Amino acid sequence: MSLTAAVRAPDRDARVAHIAERANWIRRRSLKMVFDAQAGHPGGDLSAADILATLYFGVMRYDAKNPADPARDRFILSKGHITGAFYSVLAAAGYFPEDELNTYLQPLSRLNGHPNRMYLPGVETNTGPLGHGFPVGVGIAIAGQIDKADYRTFVLTGDGELQEGSMWEAAMTAGHRKLNRLTVIVDRNRLQQGMGTEETVALEPLADKWRAFGFAVEEVDGHDVAALLAVLEASPETRDKPLCVIAHTHKGQGVSFMQDKASWHHGVPTAEQFAMAMKELEL
């Protein structure tokens, strides 16, 4: 039995509380990894934590002891730089021992700055160069459609990544093929490396763009676990097109001096800042 199945209590409030607790743990653990390694991307780790926790502890089917199970749902981290959060959720889900998180970015560690499927179970494809993960996810969803498989494919992308042309080529294909078992989640924190997305290359009206490419679109507070759960666990059989979930988030969510600051895209906290952040993230 997968960990996801094991924690799905019949009480919805209990499920939401469990996911929220896991999300906060991901924030704390990933921030410690960045601090210890003196490198990483903490702003995006913190903005995506609720999304990752909802997928792994409330929505997806997987068996961490059998990561190649053909029936598993697939997850692609297209914004491949937020490995602090991604490795944290994989460890929490049971893919590898939590103690291994202490080796993050160290020589010979499996925990690279970008995920490598040859190193870690639970990584479906290597990502890092932006614009690559979503096209792979579309290919996986096409394979499932051809095989008439019932697995779902989830892709997490950043809004800055949507400035890559390959993302829209993939979206056009997904819409054309009506890949209803494909869900792309946009971590819409409105910041990328250096400055805001709208000052770099404007994305709005973003929802209309996805609809024009043949997607159903839902907009949600990306830090509201109950809202995320409701949207992401809805059966794909209720639609005949792929789904785009625009999750409105805050870069550096939960840490006052990081929140909504582009400089924390890949900043490293000082010892004083780290202590302050961990205190703010206490439950």
* Residues 6+ positions from 198 with CB-CB distance below 8 Å: 190, 204
pLDDT tens string for the chain (283 positions)?
A: 343 544 455 688 999 999 999 999 999 999 999 999 999 999 999 999 999 999 999 999 999 999 999 999 999 999 999 999 999 999 999 999 999 999 999 999 999 999 999 999 999 999 988 999 999 999 999 999 999 999 999 999 999 999 999 999 999 999 999 999 999 999 999 999 889 999 999 999 999 999 999 999 999 999 999 999 999 999 999 999 999 999 999 999 999 999 999 999 999 999 999 999 999 999 6
In DSSP terms, 153 is beta-bridged to 74, 182
Q: How many helices (H) and strands (E) does the chain have?
A: 10, 5
Helical H runs in the chain?
A: 3-6, 12-37, 42-54, 83-93, 133-147, 165-176, 197-200, 206-212, 225-232, 271-280
Total domains present in the chain: 1
Domain that holds residue 108: 3-280
Q: Which two tokens stand for residue 221?
A: 């507070």
Instruction: Write the CATH number for 199.
Output: 3.40.50.970
Query: Cα(190)–Cα(203) distance, rounded to whole angstroms?
Result: 9
pTM of the model: 0.96
